[in-house]
Chain A
Amino acid sequence: MIQFEQVSKVYPGGQKALMDVNFHLRKGEMAFLTGHSGAGKSTLLKLITVIERASAGRVAINGHDIASVSAKHVPYLRRNIGMIFQNHHLLMEKTVFDNIALPLVIEGFSHSEIKKRVAGALDMVGLYGKERHQPIMLSGGEQQRVGIARAIVNKPPILLADEPTGNLDPKLSMDILRLFETFNDAGTSVLIATHDLGLIARMKYRTFTLKQGRMIGGEQ
């Protein structure tokens, strides 16, 4: 689903973020991406979502080389990738409903369809009935769930999570991971970037490890 071949990323300042990275996340697979801060996890995710472009090598999504995706088509590419962030990137002045509905509004779904899908997504993350709340009224864990609901509401084939449990206690973190597992069971490919090694150890999934921009001990 996501394939990196000899990918390097050098930022304009000369900082080498990724060096010759190879990895392949298979269709329907769930895996972890780990490494210290500054090892290149964020850069790798940015290359997938075309926030940054690779300096060398080939990044392919669903067999499609993204170097050939023009800026005009990047938005459509991003609609295939649900993204979850550590600080959840919610619109604080909008309601939970509006936040989750955003990808659907962008894609142009009808209002009744949007209502149905948002209710479904809220149900999945366990926040049913909180549509009218503002994110500020929710706890950290609940806000993260709103972010997850927004990421999955248009049923993307790929789910990327950048430190999704960074601000949560172990029990809440485990809940979030169980949630990812349910999406994975439904066929979604999931890649979770985290430095929470304790969390990874308890799960049976493949782990890609980055160290100073290189992929080490990739496949387990």
Chain B
Amino acid sequence: MAKQNNITQSKLPITGRIVMFFIRHIQQGMSSIGELWRNPVSSIMTMAVLGVSLSLPAALQVLVKNAETITQSWNSAAEISLFINEGRSEQSIQSLISRIKVFREVESVDYISREQALDEFQRLSGFGEALSYLDENPLPAVVTVTPSLKFSSPTGARELLVKLEREPEVSFGRLDIEWLERLQALVRLLEKTVLAIAALLVLAVVLVIGNTIRLAIMNRRTEIEIMKLVGATEAFIQRPFLYTGIWYGVIGGMLAWLIINALVWYLDGALAELMGLYGSQLSLESLTLTELGQLVLLASFLGWLGSYLSVRQHLRKIEPS
């Protein structure tokens, strides 16, 4: 029985097979780099296609990330203006302020008295002269409330507004939040678009690698037949192709990273100029090292997937005859 079994099994001892398994992986991984090196033109073309395909979703990711940082800084600037009922004494207003200050939803409270409001209006509006004809100060006192970070989202701020309006001294409150909601909806739309485009481009990467590997398999048809004749397993034959796919992915991912960095560097100057005109200081953030790692990891997985699908489909069909 032992004799019968050994005809369909490897003759090497199990330990030797395990060691050689790893050595062969390294060898085949390295030799598939060599294989790419031997056809530099077509390899570089494929890698460039992958780099460009991957750089687009990565660039959109950078865009979303920066949009998020910007809208976040606008988020926290959300302010609630409370207009105080006419005829309230300075004392009752102060007591209102001290009550509001201890709300856990509130970050800070500012008070603009009717006189301050009038001063400010006269200074800024240019109607200073006209105002002096009025008998009395038409402006109400205003208390501005900045919500704490947790309640600065549109819904949180709205809840806080309702709560503040219940105070007897408050005539009404205003929360200029519509534009914020619109902006956030816009960012969400942008994110979804990015996701859809990224999915398409990821599919393109898989197809490009799959097709490249298919051509490689066709080119080495005789070699594959001979290997099958002398007893190579499917796993052995497909391994170099899978490694080739992974290398394509890794190098394509790194190219995409370079493209992104160049893009950010190119746009940053123009953005700084624009922001300078608005008196703001903002600079574009590129991909972090972690994100580079994720990009390369994802790309190598896509490379593996593309070549795996191709190998599954085409390697089986090649049989010695």
Contacts from A to B (Cβ < 8 Å):
49, 51, 61-64, 69, 72-73, 75-80, 83, 89-91, 102-103, 105-110, 150
Contacts and interface: CB of A to CB of B under 8 A. Distances in A.
Give the one of A61, A69, A76 with max B CB within 10 A.
A76
Interface string B219-257: 000110111111111101000000000000000000000
A75 B231 contact: yes
A83 B231 CA distance: 11
Interface in B9-41: 9-12, 16-17, 20-21, 23-24
A202 B269 CA distance: 90
B12 to A, nearest CB: 6
17 contacts: A62-B4, A62-B7, A64-B7, A75-B231, A75-B236, A76-B10, A78-B228, A79-B11, A83-B229, A83-B230, A89-B222, A90-B226, A102-B227, A102-B230, A106-B230, A107-B11, A107-B231
B21 A75 contact: no
A214 B227 CA distance: 31
B280 interface: no
Given A62-B7, A75-B231, A103-B231, 17 more contacts: A49-B229, A51-B319, A62-B4, A63-B3, A63-B4, A64-B8, A72-B233, A75-B233, A76-B10, A77-B7, A77-B8, A77-B231, A83-B229, A102-B230, A107-B11, A108-B21, A108-B24
A79 B227 CA distance: 11
Q: How large is the interface on B (under 10, 10 to 19, 20 to 34, 35 or more residues)?
A: 20 to 34
B156 interface: no
A62 B3 contact: yes
A62 B6 CA distance: 10
Given A89-B226, A108-B12, A108-B24, A78 B231 contact: yes
